[in-house]
Amino acid sequence: MCWNTNSAYSSYVVKDTYSPNGFNVGNTNIAHLTGLPASTTITAQVAGVTSSGQQGTWSNIVTMTTQGGGTAVPAAPSAYDCSANNSGNPETEVVLCWDLDGVSVSYVVQDQDGYNANVGLRNNAHLSGLTPGTTIWAKVAGVNSAGQQGPWSNVVYMTTAQQQQLATPSVYQCGTVTSTEVDICWGAVSGAYQYEVNNTLGADFYTAGTIAHFTGASPGETFSARVRAVDIQGNYSNWSTYITLQTLSSLYG
């Protein structure tokens, strides 16, 4: 796509069907929109940007179509593991990537667990629901506009990250002790969603904070408590050591 330059602008932004947010092409009067399938129609617009970063209005919409030839059988894609920069949860998800070939209109991805699906015209597939520390293989093949599938890519082996063990909370008595209440506190544990409090005074309970109030004790009563962290997936840390607690006797409480 081409346009006439304007001295008021120091660079230009182009947006198209596949890049609706736009991308800066610098101080030029042409944008090469590549990696498209054969016989594909897209639209594009351009806008100027001043040296102070102010963007002008978008141009007229230009409609363009790549040449035919989409019935050629796609070549085997070159696939690779791109989990490091693209996985939302590396403990349970891996990501397979490949380069678009300009012939395929969609891609089929297959893995060892029976996943076999057409993922459309994209260059990646997120394989999720895995367990931490698991290795799986996956491969991809292109499909042209006539529905012909090309050969499979190389097989890519990918491994999810090992589950990160939550640290054990460090528990201590805090607050003011009365004849009916004793409190415990602990430092926040990285990755924790909530905490389970186990005690000999009553039933276990959960809290999102880092303090627990025990208000059901009798004057002078002694009991024990401990805490463990829980993450959003339901994984637990080790229990802290028991801490012994005692309310004041009625004489002082």
pLDDT (mean) for 68-81 = 83
> Are both 79-159 and 171-246 of the same fold?
yes
**Region 10-18 average pLDDT:** 92
> Which tokens is 34 given?
């590549």
Structure confidence at residue 20 as a pLDDT band (50, 70, 90): confident
Q: Can you give the residue ranges of every domain in the chain? A: 11-65, 79-159, 171-246
Give tens-digit pLDDT for 154-179: 999 999 988 778 999 999 999 989 99
Q: Is the pTM of this model over 0.75?
A: no
pLDDT over threshold 80, residue 76: yes
Query: Is residue 101 a contact partner of residue 121, using CB atoms and an 8 Å limit?
Result: no
Could you give the 3-state DSSP secondary structure of residue 138? Answer: strand
Least confident residue range of 1-15, 59-73, 179-193, 239-253: 59-73
Asked if the 79-159 domain carries CATH number 2.40.10.220, the reply is: no
pLDDT value, residue 242: 96
Instruction: Quote the CA–CA distance of 210 and 56 in Å, as a whole number.
Output: 52
Give the CA count within 13 Å in the CB-facing half-sphere of 142.
27
Question: Domain 171-246, what architecture?
Answer: Sandwich (2.60)
d(CA 151, CA 78): 11
> For 191-220, what is the mean pLDDT?
94
Spatial separation of the C-alpha atoms in residues 165 and 192, rounded to whole Å: 10
Spatial contact of 106 and 120, defined as CB atoms under 8 Å apart: yes
Residue 253 has pLDDT above 60, yes or no: no
Name the band, by pLDDT with cuts 50, 70 and 90, for residue 252.
low
Does the pLDDT at position 70 exceed 50?
no
Is residue 137 scored above 70 in pLDDT? yes
- Mean pLDDT confidence for 206-231: 94
**Residue 220 carries which DSSP code?**
T
Q: How confident is the model at residue 241 (pLDDT cuts 50, 70, 90)?
A: very high
Token duo for residue 204:
């276990």
> What's the confidence (pLDDT) of residue 188?
96
The average confidence (pLDDT) of the chain is 91
Instruction: Report residue 128 as tokens.
Output: 């999720």
| Res 68: pLDDT | 60
